[in-house]
């Protein structure tokens, strides 16, 4: 499903996040805009420090000082949520927005059984009693693939493997039947075979529940396997966004092309992988113009002076000289 096929479930417009420091504010997100349609998985990818996790944190309302939203807005189902009081945002976060984080142990209470945690979440957000909540909790554990769920529901988090704990966290995120899930690096700490199981599970749950997912990861392979569309971030901005197959096969931004070229292929035989020279700039050293220009072998004067915009098209790149345009010149 594309974002244009339905009114957006989540709409982020010109989001700007700054961190206040001793020498003044540092801009961490600079004018980020995107939509997520109902039932869509949007992948958000980029190097560490690109701003992808920070974007998810802002959407879910967990941005801590000295970070603050300095501009733009976030709307869920048409309702603006970035300016809600803390208590209203807390209720919305549990009820309408779920979260899956990289380390499941940070999401699970070590001294409570997984069943108690699921039941507490369900009874907090839905008008059901404890018996019905436990039945729902058991159904959720079965749905996410926990074997012997009738017994495991009374086990503690430390009694589960990493992959099984992540399944419990997914069940926890689904407890209150949210319309949106923010999944921040949900497979990074898992081995490859378990990663594949978790991405398959996320796709199936998205399809069956109609839940939208914002999937934050540095792994383009996970994005290619899971997402409908992908937003590529660099230095606090979206530099390319579009249908995942188009972006993977025909990247338009040099940074995206570099990311794709750095992924090993089972068919090619190279002595070494391609790499993007240089590093992501620090917040206090983001260059003028296109932030990627010091690492781009095709940068010209305009790239160093003027910040490129992201055109409002299905597959867009914030680049003065998009690759596909050059290919057809």
Return the pLDDT at 264: 65
pLDDT at position 143 over 60: yes
Instruction: Indicate the DSSP class of residue 5.
Output: G
Return the pLDDT at 133: 97
* Percent with pLDDT over 90 in the chain: 72
Return the pLDDT at 269: 60
Return the pLDDT at 328: 40
Strands 79-80 and 67-76: antiparallel
Residue spans per domain, the chain: 3-96+178-264+274-327
pLDDT at position 91 over 50: yes
pLDDT at position 154 over 80: yes
State the CB neighbour count (10 A cutoff) for residue 270. Answer: 8
Query: d(Cα 6, Cα 65) in Å, to the nearest integer?
Result: 35
Structure token pair of residue 75: 């709307």
Return the pLDDT at 329: 39
Return the pLDDT at 187: 84
pLDDT at position 215 over 50: yes
Return the pLDDT at 21: 86
pLDDT at position 79 over 70: yes
| Rounded average pLDDT over 88-114 | 90
| Rounded average pLDDT over 233-246 | 97
Q: Read off the pLDDT of residues 268-289 as tens digits, 9 standing for 90 and up.
A: 565 566 778 889 999 999 999 9
Return the pLDDT at 270: 56
Q: Read off the pLDDT of residues 110-132 as tens digits, 9 standing for 90 and up.
A: 999 999 999 999 999 999 999 99
State the CB neighbour count (10 A cutoff) for residue 278. Answer: 10
| Rounded average pLDDT over 27-32 | 96
- Compute the C-alpha angle 288/291/296, nearest 5°: 115
| Rounded average pLDDT over 238-248 | 97
The Cα-based distances of 103 to 43, 194, 313 in angstroms read 19, 14, 36
pTM (global) more than 0.75: yes
- Given pLDDT bands bounded at 50, 70 and 90, which one contains residue 266? low
pLDDT at position 50 over 70: yes
Q: Roughly what angle, to the nearest 10 degrees, separates helices 130-143 and 162-174?
A: 130
pLDDT at position 200 over 70: yes
Q: Which residues are bridge partners to 21 per DSSP?
A: 24
Question: What is the assigned CATH class of domain 3-96+178-264+274-327?
Answer: alpha beta
Return the pLDDT at 320: 95
pLDDT at position 327 over 80: no
Selected residue with higher pLDDT from 1 and 165: 165
Q: Is 185 left (phi over 0), alpha (psi -120 to 50) or beta?
A: left
| Rounded average pLDDT over 32-57 | 95
Return the pLDDT at 306: 97
- Given pLDDT bands bounded at 50, 70 and 90, which one contains residue 102? confident
């Amino acid at each position: 499903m594309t974002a244009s096929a339905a009114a957006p479930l989540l709409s982020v417009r010109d989001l700007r996040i700054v961190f206040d420091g001793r020498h003044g504010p540092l801009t961490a997100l600079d004018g980020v805009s995107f939509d997520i349609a109902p039932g869509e998985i949007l992948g958000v990818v980029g190097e560490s420090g690109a701003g992808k996790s920070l974007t998810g944190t802002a959407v879910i309302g967990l941005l801590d000082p000295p970070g603050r939203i300095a501009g733009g807005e976030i709307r869920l189902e048409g309702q603006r949520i970035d300016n809600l009081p803390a208590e209203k945002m807390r209720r919305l976060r549990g009820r309408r927005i779920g979260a899956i984080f990289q380390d499941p142990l940070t999401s699970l209470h070590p001294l409570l059984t997984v069943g108690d945690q699921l039941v507490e979440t369900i009874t907090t957000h839905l008008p059901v009693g404890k018996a019905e909540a436990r039945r729902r909790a058991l159904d959720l554990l079965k749905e996410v693939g926990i074997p012997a769920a009738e017994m495991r529901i009374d086990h503690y988090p430390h009694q589960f493997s990493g992959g099984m704990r992540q399944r419990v966290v997914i069940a926890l995120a689904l407890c209150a039947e949210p319309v949106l899930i923010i999944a921040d690096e949900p497979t990074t700490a898992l081995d490859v075979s378990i990663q594949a199981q978790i991405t398959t599970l996320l796709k199936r749950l998205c399809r069956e529940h109609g839940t939208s997912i914002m999937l934050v990861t540095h792994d383009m392979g996970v994005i290619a396997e899971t997402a409908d569309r992908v937003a590529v971030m660099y230095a606090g901005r979206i530099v390319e966004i579009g249908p995942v197959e188009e972006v993977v096969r025909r990247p338009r931004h040099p940074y995206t092309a570099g990311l794709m070229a750095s992924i090993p292929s089972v068919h090619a035989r190279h002595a070494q992988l391609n790499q993007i020279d240089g590093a992501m700039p620090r917040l206090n050293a983001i260059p003028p113009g296109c932030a990627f220009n010091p690492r781009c072998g095709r940068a010209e004067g305009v790239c160093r002076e003027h910040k490129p915009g992201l055109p409002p098209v299905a597959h867009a790149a914030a680049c003065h000289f998009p690759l596909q345009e050059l290919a057809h010149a």
